[in-house]
Amino acid sequence: MITIKNDCLTVKISETGAEIKSIMYNDTEYIWEGKPEIWNGSAPLLFPICGGLKDNKYILNGKEYTLTKHGFARRKTFTVENADKSSAVFLLSADEETKKGFPFDFELRVIYTLSGKTLKIDYSVKNLSGDTMYFNIGSHEAYYTPEGIEDYDVIFPQSETLSSCGIYGNLLTDQTLPIIKDSSVLPLYDKYFTVDALVFTDLKSRSAVLRNRKTGRAIEVSFPDDKYFLLWHKHGAPYICLEPWNGIPDKVGSSYNIAEKEGITALKGNSEYTHTHSVTIM
């Protein structure tokens, strides 16, 4: 476990999955602790896919590969390349195990940096292969809501009209569920999560604030590089995940062709992709 801190925040990050395990401010914990009997995650990193693939497979250059939901990065041990008082760099490189389902030489770096009450998270993906590499990357941070999620709102900087995609297992359908209309405030209700998640593909805002409407406790998640935004919560549990992704799960009618997948990132050989988001205590 790596700990970074400054005058405002203390953050703990596990080498397994380069996963945030704690964000403390003024002796208050903002990250779900990951109880195994409820959900053992805290902030898993999603790579090289976000969500699920149809039948857990895809086709690339005529060959079929298997990748399970959210990919493998969250289960892999990262190398700590560098760590000082207020920053840390974690590295995951391709190995024989990753190449079974993702046939590319790659380097994935996750860089955590503290500045005041903000934790900045930068991702660098290097394609060391000569061929185009297809992937997605996403965040899945679970924020602690000890009072229950129904005391909280998600607040956007822009007025939004949002409908959530229909969900069938790990896949998306063409059906939609209206959530808010011409509003910047999305009140959280446990009933939204009886099926699974809220999946938004048409969000205009590139940040969101999670705020307790009674106490004012709040965090802001900024995601300038992400088109897709999800909310997920295990029914009845005291946390809510705010999830900026640069891709989404397969549709029910997927062709399996990874190059045709909605939202997929196509990174040319011997190139680098960078991506950022941040968490600020308000």
pLDDT tens digits, one per residue of 54-98: 999 999 999 999 999 999 999 999 999 999 999 999 999 999 999
Query: In the predicted model, what is the mean pLDDT of residues 155-176?
Result: 94
Q: For residue 157, is pLDDT > 90?
A: yes
Which are the contacts of 132, defined by CB distance < 8 A and separation ≥ 6? 266, 267, 268, 269
Contact 233, 241 (CB under 8 A): yes
Q: For residue 196, is pLDDT > 90?
A: no
Listing DSSP states for 192-216 in one string gives GGTTSEEEES----SEEEEEETTT-
Q: Per residue in 235-246, pLDDT tens?
A: 889 999 999 999
Distance of CA 163 to the CA centre of its chain: 20
Report the distance separating Cα 74 and Cα 90, nearest Å.
Answer: 12
In this prediction the pTM is 0.94
Residue 41 tokens read as: 């995650």
Which pLDDT does position 236 carry in this prediction? 85
Q: For residue 32, is pLDDT > 90?
A: yes
Q: Where are the domains of the chain?
A: 2-281
Confidence class for position 195, pLDDT limits 50, 70, 90: confident
CA dihedral 190→197→34→22, nearest 10 degrees, is -100
Which pLDDT does position 238 carry in this prediction? 95
HSE at residue 264, side-chain half, CA atoms within 13 A, is: 23
Which pLDDT does position 235 carry in this prediction? 84
CA dihedral 37→39→40→41, nearest 10 degrees, is -170
Choose among 238, 235, 230, 155: nearest CA to 190.
235
Report the distance separating Cα 247 and Cα 35, nearest Å.
Answer: 28
Q: For residue 100, is pLDDT > 90?
A: yes
The hierarchical CATH code for the domain 2-281 is 2.70.98.10
Confidence class for position 158, pLDDT limits 50, 70, 90: very high
